[in-house]
Structure 1
């Protein structure tokens, strides 16, 4: 569990959290934190929803129609390496940053600016090499933003309120992903403009957070001397010394990899597995995203605070994982538009529950609250890495293992394994 020092963290501008037991979101500082967190998360995850599943898939399809599945997988695998490195490194550096703007804001602002410009560059590309380089730079930059952003909950909220704020963050992520996919479909015939719009959105969302939640200066704070060897060694969290951290990492990694291996190939599934035309598939993608939202919103709003109330996280995470496996099994059994809608509804209910509670669970297995951004960055490899790797896994399943039915089967195995990985965690109920 997180030590009691996390109970004394600040919400905004260094003001101490209200320990009276009032509901979250009642104080001006909490409202600013909540609003900024949601704005930044919505715009960031709108990019994650829009680019891999719609904009990048269409762009790669235009450049290399015959080899689009393999090309998308290769580009995603390359960008995955950059993402996996950038997130924990940026988190660790933000933990050590001393500036009059605080330790998180400089990295968030820089990551958003470079990431937004890189997205614009992706949309101007007309070769696979250009797209691969620009998308990799965009992924790395966005992970520089995401690392300190994920440290907001352990930085600024006490343990007993983690479910509420995790629900808010999860709601923002799901709204961003769903709305981003829906909005991106409108740019299927204007891909350059679409990349530009999403690049500017992530810059604006980050500006809202940074301006609403200004950090106190850390310019005069003491920090241990920098030694490269100890800095690099800090990224290794021993599974033997911190087994709960390791199990949480593994569970999130498998869950996200299983889910996004299907989600990232949704356009191609509709075209090549369901049998829709390219135009019909592009029109159906936003409808499927919208079908996810009602159940997702309900579960995120309800399950995070409910887990706070009953003091348990693991049963919610396990149930959500098994529900996700059931969702993936529907189109495996019945390849139809109706099955894809059923899949979307079940995904909304399951993934909404998962995101609301699993984030709270992860904040409670951090080895050291003083290294929150670094450790959340390491854990976030289990989130960002699989999202980037998923198209590569999907390409292997589709091209080498027997088509889209094999893809669904692989996803189910991964998600069930994720559910089993949560059970050994001992410090969180």
Structure 2
């Protein structure tokens, strides 16, 4: 053992309440900025620039191509979340377990968006988008695990609120920025790549993660493989209720967001200028309402010592919001959707992350298990277009049924969260 390793404190995989009297605000800032800088560019491309690029390459079959890309990316993201999360848990370096991965993911994500911008075939789009998913998920799961590693349970609502603040701005601000490049798609994709490049380094610089050399190393055995690379098998009922509850709620909103451009053109009947205006208006409404709720919901959740009730309330608001455009195809219904669903998603982003941290079966495998839970975030962004495409196809090209079906999905997700037993 080196002198460096001998001088390091004994490794702990989580921090108890008594060891952290004050909330570690810098962890919230780091993870919030990291979330903003990976999610904003991702959704700016996925929700706005990707559909626009597909329309340029294959306008006659654009919905099917978007669904194909989403299907392939979902498979890759699923594997990447689990494998990279597990490798992060096992990483031993002087920079810690998470930092090497989030920096690698940022660099690779930037490079792959540049490649994605250059390709001009459907095959090239699918392949480059899938490789991009690998690097993107090298940021996501390890970044979330920093909260589990370094934040005591009593502060997780507050820190999750700060994380959610960045997440919400990325969630909706990315689309606002993306919409500004609808007349210059290539430039927009490059800008998104450069923003992604900043995510890992900025988060790592603020956190300054301690060395993980003192963490016990694990030999490769079957039990180690099962623990670090397989879905949890024991004491995981609440874990899976949280996973699928999150998946249903997120899919409800991502289905509409992914097809927002087509909804505005083919259902609301707006021209290109109207589409650009309403993408910005809707995203602004979603962002403002979500920001307001994300700032307040986490600390309130800590104070009332409840995670499930705020998350169910969020699901109910999302269900009401996404149902609104079914009333009429007048543009105002999309604005009401933005305002009401935004309130729900703000609460959800802030409190659901704290809920997730409390249903983890084993803190030693935080990144792997958070990576699996994060499938409900990244996976629903991919699953949403598949669900929307299936609904539109089954309805003979009509977009109407997206809204009531997505409303039902949000309610189902909320009920699943209420079924969690070991978290209040």
Is the TM-score greater than 0.5? Answer: yes
1:6, 1:219 → 2: CA distance? 16
Report if aligned partners of 2:235, 2:361 keep a CA contact under 8 Å in 1: no
2:105, 2:385 → 1: CA distance? 24
Structure 1 residue 365 corresponds to structure 2 residue 359 = yes
Deviation, 1:32, is: 3.2
Report if aligned partners of 1:167, 1:355 keep a CA contact under 8 Å in 2: yes
Give the length in aligned residue pairs.
Answer: 412
Q: Pick one of 65, 69, 79 that aligns with 2:63.
A: 69
1:16-55 map, 5 Å: 19-20=20-21, 22=22, 24=23, 30-55=24-49
Q: Pick one of 166, 180, 194 that aligns with 1:186.
A: 180
Q: Pick one of 335, 340, 344 that aligns with 1:350.
A: 344
Say which SS state the counterpart of residue 405 (structure 1) adopts.
Answer: coil
1:5-404 map, 5 Å: 6-8=14-16, 19-20=20-21, 22=22, 24=23, 30-227=24-221, 230-232=224-226, 234-237=228-231, 241-402=235-396, 403-404=398-399
Report if aligned partners of 2:176, 2:284 keep a CA contact under 8 Å in 1: yes
Deviation, 1:8, is: 3.8
Give the equivalent residue in structure 1 for 2:409.
Answer: 414
Deviation, 1:229, is: 6.8
Residues 214, 268 of structure 1: alpha-carbon distance in 2 compared, 3 angstrom cutoff = same
Deviation, 1:222, is: 2.2
Say which SS state the counterpart of residue 151 (structure 1) adopts.
Answer: helix
Deviation, 1:190, is: 1.5
Residues 54, 157 of structure 1: alpha-carbon distance in 2 compared, 3 angstrom cutoff = same
2:395, 2:195 → 1: CA distance? 38
Deviation, 1:228, is: 5.9
1:220, 1:424 → 2: CA distance? 39
1:299, 1:270 → 2: CA distance? 27
Deviation, 1:116, is: 1.0
Deviation, 1:171, is: 1.3
Deviation, 1:234, is: 4.2
Report if aligned partners of 2:99, 2:200 keep a CA contact under 8 Å in 1: no
TM, length-normalised to structure 2: 0.93
Deviation, 1:283, is: 2.7
Say which SS state the counterpart of residue 209 (structure 2) adopts.
Answer: coil
Any gaps of 5 or more consecutive residues in structure 1?
10-16, 25-29
Deviation, 1:203, is: 1.2
2:176, 2:318 → 1: CA distance? 21
Report if aligned partners of 1:361, 1:428 keep a CA contact under 8 Å in 2: yes
Give the equivalent residue in structure 2 for 1:13.
Answer: none
1:101, 1:240 → 2: CA distance? 31
Residues 250, 174 of structure 1: alpha-carbon distance in 2 compared, 3 angstrom cutoff = same
Deviation, 1:220, is: 5.0
Any gaps of 5 or more consecutive residues in structure 2?
1-11
1:196, 1:40 → 2: CA distance? 18
Report if aligned partners of 2:85, 2:141 keep a CA contact under 8 Å in 1: yes
1:216, 1:238 → 2: CA distance? 27
1:400, 1:135 → 2: CA distance? 27
Residues 6, 103 of structure 1: alpha-carbon distance in 2 compared, 3 angstrom cutoff = closer
